[in-house]
Structures are given as structure tokens and as C-alpha cells.
Amino acid sequence: MNPTKKHLLVIPSIDIKDGKTVRVVQGIPELDCKEYGNDPVEMAMLWRAENAKMLHVVDFDGAIDLSRKNLEIIKNICSSVIIPVEFAGGIRSIEDANLYFDAGVARITINTMALENKNLFIKLFEKFGPSKIVLSLDILDDELITRGRQKKTGLNYLSFAKEIAEIGIERCIVTDVKRNGSVQGPNIYYSKEIAINTKMKVTHSGGIRNKDELIDLQELLHIGIDSVIIGRAFYENRFPCQKLWRVAESGLFN
């Protein structure tokens, strides 16, 4: 194995609503208690036990109605695992960002603020920098949607990505909302277009259903797609998690 060879980072997603772990299909959360129970903190510890290197945590209450009722859960997740936690969910101000950084999250993902208040987004980015701020692009039929995937913006995803990349953003999360939680296979077109045309690093999200599709994404490392968020496929045991981490770490994605 070549120790310098880079490999796709696989990031489990923990989606939270009303204090419970949920599965999300096209932006609509539903309670997930079939496989692992519904405690987000226990879920975080499970993924860490399975040797995950990062977690992606989404607060749907925060994203949709700006509620902070899950803040203590976020704090408990961050204090329960030693790996970085990436957070998404209703950050609309610099004060909100401070709140979650103080709670222990390693970086935050921004969607609505970037789309609706670019000047504030620039101030946020200038304060915290590219290692702490990630742009999240939720795409529906080439159009960006926002406010917890509830509102269409009329903005073309690629035009906006090119514009926002100019301020120095280094990473974005790209989600085809139609494929999110569908386990129907990923639409990598959007991720490829953004990576190639903006030179940002891209975390792909949505549609992954098996190890072969991870290997397909691994082949796109050279254009900047270096990580993937997986939710429902993990919760439905689409592949053995422990085996997945071993494969990713042993360099078998060749």
C-alpha cells in the first residue's frame, strides 16, 4: 500500500429532528428506529466505534424553524466522540456560528445565509476562514433550494457556485435533493461540474447505495471530489460498516 495515496473520506450522517435520529428522503425527515434506535448520541458513538473519521450532523429543527432545542444533543455528540463533527442546521448569523463552535463542532455548513445574505456570509467567512466554513448546495432540477430544502431560489447551481468560489471558499457539499435518501444511486453530474468549474473541494451527498458506487467516486479524487456523506444506506445496512472502513483505509480503492 502506498501510504501517500489519498482515499475517499466516507462521512456518516446523523440527521436529527425533535431530539431523535431520523432518515431523510428528498429533504423530508422520518423517524428511524428500525435498526439502531433513535438516540443521536448513541448513533455518534456507534459510528466512532466503527472507526468513522468524521460525522456530519444535521439539525432539521434548526434548519426549518431556527429552533435550538437540539443544542444540548449537539454538545453531547461533540463531547462523546474524538473525531470532528461537521454541523448543518439553521445558522443565520455570526452569533449562531459562535454558539455551535462553542458547542464543539469542528466546522459548519452554510446554505441559506450564502444564498440570501451574501454580505453577511462574507463576514462570517472572513471571521472563521475556509477550514471552519463549508458551503452547502442543495440542488433540485439545476436550481438551488434553501431554508431546509423548503424554498426555491431561482438560482442556477453552477452560476452561483462560480460566484461564491471567488470569495475564497475551499469546500462545498453538493446534494441532488431528488437522490437524497433515495438509495437509487448517486447523481454525480452536479458534483463533477462544480468541482471542475470552481476548483473547490467537493463532498458529494445523496444516493449512495453500495461499495461499488464509492469506488466510482474514488476515481474522481483527481478533480476534487474527495469525500462523501452517507445516511440512509448505512441505516438500512446496505453494506457492512466495519468492512467498509477497512477497505477505505487499506488502499483497496485502486
Catalytically annotated residues? 15, 138
In DSSP terms, 143 is beta-bridged to 140, 156
Neighbours of 251 (CB within 10 A): 13
Joined grid coordinates for residue 82: 474524538
CA–CA separation, 48 and 64 (whole Å): 28
Euclidean distance between CA atoms 99 and 137, whole angstroms: 23
Residue type, 172: C
Report the DSSP beta bridge partners of residue 228. Answer: 10, 204
CA-to-CA distance for 233 and 240, rounded, in angstroms? 10
